[in-house]
Amino acid sequence: MTTMPSNLIDFAPLAAEEAVQRLLAQRWAGLYDLSGGAVWWAPTAIDELGNEHAGTVDCSGLIAWAYKYRRRQWNCNEILGDARGPQRRWMLVHRGERVRPGDVIVHAGPDLDHDGVPDANGHGHIGGIATVDERFEHLLTDYELLGVVHSSGALQLHVDPTDPLHRKYGTTRLTNAAPWHLNGYVVRARHVVYAAA
């Protein structure tokens, strides 16, 4: 049984490479459930530990688990709001800066009243960048050059074409960045450590 670490902090330092490994280890895992996802010290993102519905994960739950932080209020809207504002935990990766594996890609939920603030009950989407082709320059035009691990209800229960038995698998996939190419932002978690370039 996995227990809560005695030295628990809200954001546990980790290397970008470890975040990518944790993301990739969850490919094909779980079913989608909004607010699903285990605590970061659980063995998998779909574990029952801290998960309202064991076996499930949503996009924010996957990122919180892989990047080792307590999910709490950190959904897509809050992460993007912090990166665009006070930058307590997240910061924008600006155009011209190098996008790296371990960065996160996010778009906020809808803003139906056009007040510049995402609607409280609107949902965005978030994923962890696992691969960056060296030709990548800009999200709008080069989205297919990023490999992103994310969880989406639209992805679940698809047949794995590489499986000879054609079994159906879960919601967590490695895709390109198409879901974010028109309105996404690349952000970097302040507690993640990157190897020297």
Structural domains of the chain ordered from first start:
14-193 (3.90.1720.10)
Cβ–Cβ contacts within 10 Å for residue 195, how many? 10
User: What band does 34 get if pLDDT is binned at 50, 70 and 90?
Assistant: confident
Give the C-alpha separation, 121 to 125, whole Å: 13
- What's the chain's average pLDDT? 86
Check the CA dihedral 77-151-177-180 and report its sign.
Answer: negative
* pLDDT of residue 44 exceeding 80: yes
Q: Whole-model pTM above 0.95? A: no
Long-range contacts of 83-86 (CB under 8 A, 24+ apart): 83/185, 83/187, 84/185
Give the C-alpha separation, 29 to 27, whole Å: 5
Closest CA to 42 of 65, 58, 24, 8: 65
Contact at 8 Å (CB) between 95 and 105? no
Return the amino acid letter for 158.
H
* pLDDT of residue 159 exceeding 70: no
Long-range contacts of 82-87 (CB under 8 A, 24+ apart): 83/185, 83/187, 84/185, 87/190
- Average pLDDT score over residue span 147-156: 85
Res 102: pLDDT: 98
Res 141: pLDDT: 87
Res 6: pLDDT: 53
